Structure 1
Amino acid sequence: MKIFQRAAALGVGAVVALALTGCGGGDDKSTTTAAVPEGWSELTTKGVDVAYPPAFKPQGDAERSKYNAAAATLTEGDRTVGIITVQLNFTTAHDAEQAAIAAEAGVQLGSKIEGTKKVEIAGTDDAQRIDFAFVSDGDKGQPVKGARIHGTIVTGLDSKDKTFAVRIDAQKGKLSDADLAKIVESIEVH
């Protein structure tokens, strides 16, 4: 499960890189709200909430990485083929662009960054989305060796100007583009 554990350690190595950077973030926060799609459940934390499809199962405190405030997984047999994680205060960034740089630094070595863009997320006016892809090495609990994994990270600042990162990793064909879009649209920062 190394690939998905790496998702848990998203910004650990990037904290030092951004510790000395900074310029003040804006005080304006989005007043829109996000909706949980019908039949879905929600991961809730003190900084951000995100919905997950019915096939995903939430992880308890003992199951998830210590770096994750919340997580839900999609499994097939003994393999995790999809995971949604929420990290809070993972770096000392002062805006979404810096948080995105830290998130990119935490992406698995060998991943291909497919793009970074500003996105609208309920509860914040300062969020970035990073899309990337990598190939599974097939370690125990991971998708089969050679499986293509698509990753998306949505990151920014919460109402206390602390960073958050919602990361979605899924083996190709295991999470539809429509469901990925619903997950991203369900993110609400508070």
Structure 2
Amino acid sequence: MTETMSTRTWGARRPRRRRTTTGAAVTAAAVATAAVLLTGCGDGDADKASVPEGWGTLETGSLSVGYPKSEGYAEQPSAERAKANAAVALKEEDGIRTGMVSVQLDFATGVRDAAGAAAAAGAGIGLNSTRKATDDVRLAGPEDAGEAREARRIDYDFTSDGQEDTPNRGTPMTGVLVAGVDSKGVPFVVRLNAVKDAVDADDLDAFVGSITVK
């Protein structure tokens, strides 16, 4: 499905992307979020991820993740969202879904680790997509979560198909997904899809850095 986000950035409180370097100063919140990606939020102090100021949080049985509430995103009621989704936050403008954050749990069978979860999730990106990068990430979570904190991130570009109130067919899009297996052995995938150039690398890092596994 090709859900997207409006053209904007999410403010100053953003982490640095791991694959870029810059001399610019960042806020304490941005540094904390970057630490989630680089070091798993430090040595034993990783129970809860940093969620940027103005964001809301989607809570599920396996994890929590932030979404940019201050930019018009709203959690979708359970009665309205697709059965495959455990939680969703949408931004709608003039009847078009311009942004979507989603969480799916137990979305694949025979999956035992992050690599398997990412392979299953990646297969669903679509034929009209281009995978840009795949990285291992360590998420925030309690120490006893063990390997549940190990996840895999996939960044990709694709084009909208114009279906289900999404932007016009052919609209350039970008997305990121994070897949893994929680402490109970349940596979999960978290996604953010956006109109290309609506979000930058730091915004996507902030999203990934807001995930806490349970």
Q: Please, what TM-score do these two structures have when normalized by structure 1?
A: 0.80
Q: CA deviation at 1:58?
A: 0.9
Q: Contact 1:115 / 1:131 at 8 angstroms: preserved in 2? A: yes
Deviations 1:84-122 (A, max 9, x none): 000111113100001111011111222111121101211
* Runs of 4+ deviating beyond 6 Å: none
Q: Contact 1:81 / 1:174 at 8 angstroms: preserved in 2? A: no
Give the corresponding residue for 1:3. Answer: 2
Matched, 1:112 2:130: yes
Give the corresponding residue for 1:49. Answer: 64
Q: Which letter maps to 1:119?
A: V
Q: CA deviation at 1:144?
A: 2.1
CA distance in 2: counterparts of 1:180 and 1:165, whole angstroms: 15
Q: Which letter maps to 2:122?
A: E
CA distance in 1: counterparts of 2:66 and 2:155, whole angstroms: 19
Give the corresponding residue for 1:184. Answer: 208
Counterpart of 1:106 in 2: which secondary structure? coil
Q: Which letter maps to 1:91?
A: A
Q: CA deviation at 1:170?
A: 0.5
Give the corresponding residue for 1:88. Answer: 105
What root-mean-square deviation, in Å, do the aligned CA atoms of Structure 1 and Structure 2 show?
Answer: 1.6
Matched, 1:129 2:171: no
CA distance in 2: counterparts of 1:158 and 1:128, whole angstroms: 13
Q: Please, what TM-score do these two structures have when normalized by structure 2?
A: 0.72
Q: Which letter maps to 2:83?
A: K
Q: Contact 2:149 / 2:213 at 8 angstroms: preserved in 1? A: no
Q: 1:99 to 1:61 in 2, by over 3 A?
A: same
Q: CA deviation at 1:49?
A: 0.3
Question: Which of 33, 55, 72 is the aligned partner of 1:40?
Answer: 55
Q: 1:106 to 1:47 in 2, by over 3 A?
A: same
Q: Which has the higher strand share?
A: 1
Corresponding residue pairs, total: 164
Give the corresponding residue for 1:152. Answer: 176
Q: CA deviation at 1:179?
A: 2.4
Give the corresponding residue for 2:31. Answer: none
Counterpart of 2:117 in 1: which secondary structure? helix
Q: CA deviation at 1:140?
A: 5.0
Could you tell me the percent identity over the aligned residues?
A: 41
Q: CA deviation at 1:185?
A: 0.3
Q: Which letter maps to 1:84?
A: V
Q: CA deviation at 1:129?
A: 0.2
Give the corresponding residue for 1:173. Answer: 197
Q: 1:44 to 1:74 in 2, by over 3 A?
A: same
